[in-house]
Every structure is written in C-alpha cells, then in structure tokens.
Chain A
Amino acid sequence: MDEISLDPELLRRYDRPGPCYASYPTTPHFTDSFGEAEFRRYALGSNAEPIPRQLSLYLHVPDCFSSGAYVERLVREIETVAKLFDRDRDVIQLHLGGGAPNFPGAAEVNELISSLGRQFHFSTSSTRDFSIDLDPRVIRPGDVAACAALGFNRASLAIRNFDPEVRCAVNDEQSVDQTMQVIADCRDSGFRSVNVDLVYGLPRQTLAGFGHTLEAILEARPDRVATYGYAHLPEVLEAQRRSRAIELPDAETRIGLLCLAIERLSAAGYRYIGMDQFALPGDDLVRAREAGRLQRNFMGYTTHADSDLIGLGVSAMSHVGDSYSQNPPDLAAWEAAVDQGRLPVWRGIELDGDDVLRADAIQELMCRGEVDIAGFEYRHRVDFPAYFADTLEGLQPLVANGLVRIDRDVIAATSHGRLLLRIIAMCFDRYLTSSQTGARTRYSRVI
C-alpha cells in the first residue's frame, strides 16, 4: 500500500475548492423534484431486495441545540420514517451528533435511543458501530458512562485548539483537562474507539500553537484522528460571523499546518486512511482498508457503507438504494413537516446508470486510493477505457504532475496524490465538466 509523501509545492498548486464526495452526485445537484413520494418508493424498493441491506441511522443534533422540543420532534420523525423499513433489517450503524461538536444531555440521548429501539431492531453483532459526538465543554460526570450503557461504543470529539489565543478568536472554551478527561472516561466505559476531529486553519492559528495542540492530543493517543481544514463560510454558517475573516491564516500557513499535522501523526504511528482521516494500526478502519473493505458515506469512513442510510433531524442526509436525499436545513421547515406528520424530505436525487458507475469509481478512489479496472468492468459490464475515455484524458495532467499512475489494470493515486484524492475524483465528476452550476456552487477548499 502506498504511503503518503508530502510535497508542499504540489499541495499549493492544487489548493482549490472542490467537493469532498461524501456523495456522488454531490449535494448541489439534489433537486426538489425528489420529495416524500420518491423517498417512500426507494424505501419500499430497498425492502424488496433479496437480502435487504442493513440500516445506518444518522441523528442530527444541530449546532445551537437547546430545547427538549427538538428531541420530541425527532422522536416523531423516527416513528414516521421507521414504518417504511422492514423490521428484519438490523441497525448496524448509528451516529448521533451534528456538524459541530455537541451533546444534547444524557436524558435526551436516552429518550432518543429508547425510541429508536422501539421502532428498529439494533444489530447485536460485535461489529456494530454506535457513535456519538461528545463536546468536552458540556459533558458532565457520568454522561459518558450513560452513553456506553445505552450501547454507544464509539465517540468523536472535536478539538479546535488548545491555544488560548485561537480559542478566544473562535469563541471557544475548551481546556486540555476537560478533553483529556472525556477521552479517559470513554476508555474507562469500554468505548471501542475514540476519534478526535482536529481543525486547522482557524483564526489566529500559528504553527507553534498548533504544535502544542498536536502534542497534547497525541499524548492521549485517540484511535482515530481527522484533520479538517476550517471552512470559513460565514455566509452559510451563522456561528462563524463572530470571528473575523481577516484573522484567518493565509494559504501558505494552512498548508504548513496540514503538513505539521501529517508529520506528527505519521511519526506517532498513525496510518493514513484517506481524505482527512488517520487511525492507529489496531483500529477497524486500518484493518478494513488493508482488507479492501473500507467504505465511505455521509458520516465519513466506515466499514458499513453497504447499508441504507436514514438521516433524521434537520438537514440530515439519507442514502437509500440508488437515491440520495436531504431534510431541510431550515429548522422551521423541518419542524413544520414533522408536525404535519409528513416525511421531511427537502430535496434529493435518483442516480441514473451513469451516476452509479461514477459513484463507484469515486468511492474506490476515496477508500482504496485506486480503481481496479478489471473488477470494475466485471461489476458493471462496461469497457472501462471506452466508457471513461474523457476521464482518462482529463487525468493526463495529474499523471504528468505525478499524482496519478494509469496502467492497463489500475488507476492509482501515487503517494503524492493520496493527499489530493478530491482532485483526482473530480476528473470522474460529470457534473463538474458539464456544469453550469459550478460558478454558484460553494465547495470548501481541498487543503
């Protein structure tokens, strides 16, 4: 397996906005012609498969969550949606959280899990992944143990920075001690793995300060670390309006921060999974990657993406059969739909034959760093070089720059290209080349 090699010059050249391919087609191509009726049709179709897939549930708890009213509505949505899926379809994956670190409170989590347990059948397999986002700032003693008792076995913590200068700039109060305590609690409660989301490119973040943060984190040795570039989109994300764009590190510093993170993580024995994700050798993700079983969905890298994903809550994404869909990101719209007993489907897309092919190629790239041409041709019964002639041509500059290797059997990201998988995947994206929406679509930067 190729390891990664850092080349700041290449990173600099390819540092541009691009989709992260949690889905293909990507969300900007979802339309409101996909609604409640379409979701029902796909749910029924998914039950009709000879071996219906297992289920993944994603419960979105929004950023500025405060009231029990949200949990009450979520329970209502669970009851409405669950009826569409056959009861013998086990829940193999569950994630409770949001875009930002959060924790709704032990009592609320209990209520949600009880409701899910009444409507769905939880898998009893040892490989099931039930994960929860924990915000060290609001976790109280006993919360982590309570989550473990409810069946959670994975936790994810976001660490902005332990540098007080940065914390002040992003209105964040998170101390090293709080975070270490939560990681320790997870271990004591028997969680199988703890993930830490590490954000770089924050306002006022410096190499020295970030170095301290990395040091502190690596001391706790979380099983997984994800390094996210801070996406400053204040026009989209309300909470960011209080921090000022002018204080953001420049592109050069961002690349420096990322390189620092990668160097430190590699030196500490972490393996690169893909995109932003690193993990320790014993972790399920590393094993899955080595066995070629790694997958990726809206929740990130996983070993359970061959399930149908049901998103619940405001803005949540679903992936049922060959369809993607999303709930409204607007709280009032979601509330109104749930209150009327409707499925709160806002928009979505039905994949056509071409979408399915390209989604598979992109998934292979994201999860294995390569597309095995013979396997692909066998699965889809297509002549790969003929079908993807344009794509192969589009990849030539990347080949010339040493990001990609193409031969008869395989299209593979090189050790340089593995940090730029999005750039390679973009060559398979029909919507980017043919798109008129490109100019209006806001993607975060690749680096």
Chain B
Amino acid sequence: MDAGTSHRPQPIADDGDDFNFCSTCAFSAACLKHGYDKGQLRELHVLVEHTEPYHEGEYIFREGDRFEAIAAVRSGTVKTFVNDIEGREQVQGFFLPGEVIGLSGISEARYPSNAIALESVVLCRFSFSSMAMLATRMPGLQQQLFRLLSQDINKAALLAGNYSADERMAAFLVSLSRRYAARGFSPNRFRLTMTRTDIANYLRLAAESVSRGLRRLQDDGLIRVDRRDIELVDRPALESLARTILRD
C-alpha cells in the first residue's frame, strides 16, 4: 500500500447476495426499478464474479488484451490510461466504487487502454457475452448498459475544452464528490487516492499547477486539504466554478 494511504478506512461496498446487489452496484438501481423478480435477478447474479484483490500498481487489463468482461469496482480506485506514440502516459479516467470499467472494449473486442489498481482493488466481473445475451431479455439491463456507455463517452469529452486550471480543478473535485454521493458515501469529505501526477495528467495540467490550484481554492476557503484528505467547505462556490465544465 502506498505511503500515506496506509490507514483510515476507504469506502467499500457491502456484500450482496443472490437477491441483493452490493449497495454500490452499477446495475442495482436499474434492475430494481424495472421490478425484476428473484429468478431474473439470480440470472444476473450468477454472471458476477468477485475477484481477488488487485494490489497497488497491478494491471487489471492491458491495451490490446482480448475484451471478455466488464467489471464494476467494489472497492479501491482504478486508473485507465494509454501510452502515446512517444511512450508518454495519458490518463483517461479514474473509476470509483460502483463504477464500471472495460466498456470501451466493446466496439473493437479488445481493450483500447490499460487499467491499473491505484490501491487495493476488488472488482465484480461480468462476462460480457453472457450479459449481452441476458440484456436481450431484460430491457432494463440493456438500457443501463447504454447509459453507462454514453456516460463513459461524455466523461472523456468533459475536460477537452479550453478551461482554466481552477475550473478544471473545481470540476474534478465536484465530479468526485457527486460520484461518491451517488454511491452513498460522504460528498464533502473524501480521499484523493490518485497521485498528484495522475491528477495533473488527467486534467492536462502541470503537477505544480494542480497544487497551486488546490492551494488557491484552500486560501479562498472553498476546500481544506490535509495530506490526501479533501474537505469541500463551500460547495456552491465550487459548483459555480465548475459549472462551465460540468453543466448540470
């Protein structure tokens, strides 16, 4: 485990069983809303495989690997990235508990990026072919898959525009906050599990600019930073800074 993250509990989903999803599950809301019965839920659940923990720095899949499964993060944070033509890493995204990785592999039948565990990570893996088959009989599941796919595309586009460092930083924090909140975790206090370099790379900023931006937000009373722990003190101000990027 990385120095500095060795203690304080991280968000982790509770275990599901045959009929109850893990509380963070990306599919639970959609399926419950459609009122599937126990039999149908069991059909979905048997597709799920809870993986052994991946250790910090371990690859979950590599660019070019054959696409077989998508996976929901149960605990920990996953980073996806590609290496550009000069071998420089380009971070594509961070995936928190309840979020789904591997969706970008659907179109080419190969993963177009690498996925790496930033800390100890446990996944719920779904065989994609079985799931696709099941989705033909469960419209709710199909809709949820489409929704996840479109979110994935939008997320990548978010930070491509011409935004200031402060706007990017604020959008990043607000986005994390919303995502934690959506899974029932605290929206105002969370830990940045990714390194400063990874954040900088993702936001297309220099590492020093990330720190400077955060320091400015802290000096202005919008956030408090204690090592890797972040506290959002003035959410409305942050939201308004992030508005141009996040829109809703």
Smallest CB gap from A42: residue in B: B3
When distances are taken between beta carbons in the complex, the residues of chain A under 8 Å from B208 are: 88
Complex Cα spacing A46 to B5, Å: 11
When distances are taken between beta carbons in the complex, the residues of chain A under 8 Å from B230 are: 50
Q: Among B15-23, B132-140, B160-168, B190-198, which stretch is in contact with chain A?
A: B190-198
Complex Cα spacing A49 to B8, Å: 16
Instruction: Judge whether B211 and A88 touch: CB under 8 Å.
Output: yes
For the complex, is A83 an interface residue (Cβ under 8 Å from B)?
A: no
Instruction: Judge whether A46 and B210 touch: CB under 8 Å.
Output: no
Instruction: Judge whether B7 and A352 touch: CB under 8 Å.
Output: yes
Instruction: Judge whether A51 and B3 touch: CB under 8 Å.
Output: no
Name the interface residues of B21-53: CB closer than 8 Å to any CB of A.
none
Complex Cα spacing A351 to B151, Å: 40
For the complex, is A141 an interface residue (Cβ under 8 Å from B)?
A: no
**Shortest distance between the CB of B225 and any CB in chain A (Å):** 5
When distances are taken between beta carbons in the complex, the residues of chain A under 8 Å from B7 are: 322, 352-353, 356
For the complex, is B107 an interface residue (Cβ under 8 Å from A)?
A: no
Report how many residues on chain A are interfacial, defined by Cβ distance under 8 Å: 23
For the complex, is A12 an interface residue (Cβ under 8 Å from B)?
A: no
Instruction: Judge whether B6 and A50 touch: CB under 8 Å.
Output: no
When distances are taken between beta carbons in the complex, the residues of chain A under 8 Å from B215 are: 51
Complex Cα spacing A380 to B196, Å: 23
Bitwise, B212-227 to A at CB < 8 A (1) or not (0) is 0011001000000111
For the complex, is A44 an interface residue (Cβ under 8 Å from B)?
A: yes
When distances are taken between beta carbons in the complex, the residues of chain B under 8 Å from A323 are: 3
Instruction: Judge whether B211 and A41 touch: CB under 8 Å.
Output: no
For the complex, is B2 an interface residue (Cβ under 8 Å from A)?
A: yes
For the complex, is A45 an interface residue (Cβ under 8 Å from B)?
A: yes
For the complex, is B87 an interface residue (Cβ under 8 Å from A)?
A: no
**Shortest distance between the CB of A178 and any CB in chain B (Å):** 45
For the complex, is A381 an interface residue (Cβ under 8 Å from B)?
A: yes
Instruction: Judge whether A322 and B6 touch: CB under 8 Å.
Output: yes
**Chain A CB within 10 A, most for which of B199, B210, B211, B230:** B211
Select one of B8, B196, B211 contacting A353, CB under 8 A: B8
Complex Cα spacing A235 to B5, Å: 40
Instruction: Judge whether A49 and B207 touch: CB under 8 Å.
Output: no
When distances are taken between beta carbons in the complex, the residues of chain B under 8 Å from A379 are: 226
Smallest CB gap from A86: residue in B: B207
Name the interface residues of A202-220: CB closer than 8 Å to any CB of B.
none
When distances are taken between beta carbons in the complex, the residues of chain A under 8 Å from B3 are: 41-42, 44-46, 321-323, 350
For the complex, is B155 an interface residue (Cβ under 8 Å from A)?
A: no
Name the interface residues of A39-91: CB closer than 8 Å to any CB of B.
41-42, 44-52, 86, 88
**Shortest distance between the CB of B101 and any CB in chain A (Å):** 22
Complex Cα spacing A322 to B230, Å: 18
Instruction: Judge whether B210 and A50 touch: CB under 8 Å.
Output: yes
When distances are taken between beta carbons in the complex, the residues of chain B under 8 Å from A51 are: 211, 214-215, 218, 225
Smallest CB gap from A87: residue in B: B208
When distances are taken between beta carbons in the complex, the residues of chain B under 8 Å from A381 are: 8
**Shortest distance between the CB of A196 and any CB in chain B (Å):** 35
**Chain B CB within 10 A, most for which of A48, A321, A356, A379:** A48
Instruction: Judge whether B195 and A48 touch: CB under 8 Å.
Output: yes
**Shortest distance between the CB of A309 and any CB in chain B (Å):** 15
When distances are taken between beta carbons in the complex, the residues of chain B under 8 Å from A45 are: 2-5
Q: Chain A: residues with CB nearer than 8 A to chain B?
A: 41-42, 44-52, 86, 88, 321-323, 350, 352-353, 356, 379-381
Q: Chain B: residues with CB nearer than 8 A to chain A?
A: 2-8, 192, 195-197, 199, 207-208, 210-211, 214-215, 218, 225-228, 230
What are 9 A-to-B residue pairs whose CB atoms are below 8 Å? A41-B3, A47-B196, A49-B227, A50-B196, A50-B214, A51-B215, A88-B207, A353-B6, A380-B8
Listed from nearest, the 4 A-B pairs whose CB atoms lie closest are: A45-B3, A353-B7, A48-B195, A42-B3
Q: Given A48-B4, A50-B214, A52-B196, list of 19 further CB < 8 A pairs? A: A42-B3, A45-B2, A45-B5, A47-B196, A48-B195, A48-B196, A48-B197, A49-B4, A50-B196, A50-B211, A50-B230, A51-B218, A51-B225, A88-B207, A88-B211, A321-B4, A322-B3, A322-B6, A353-B8
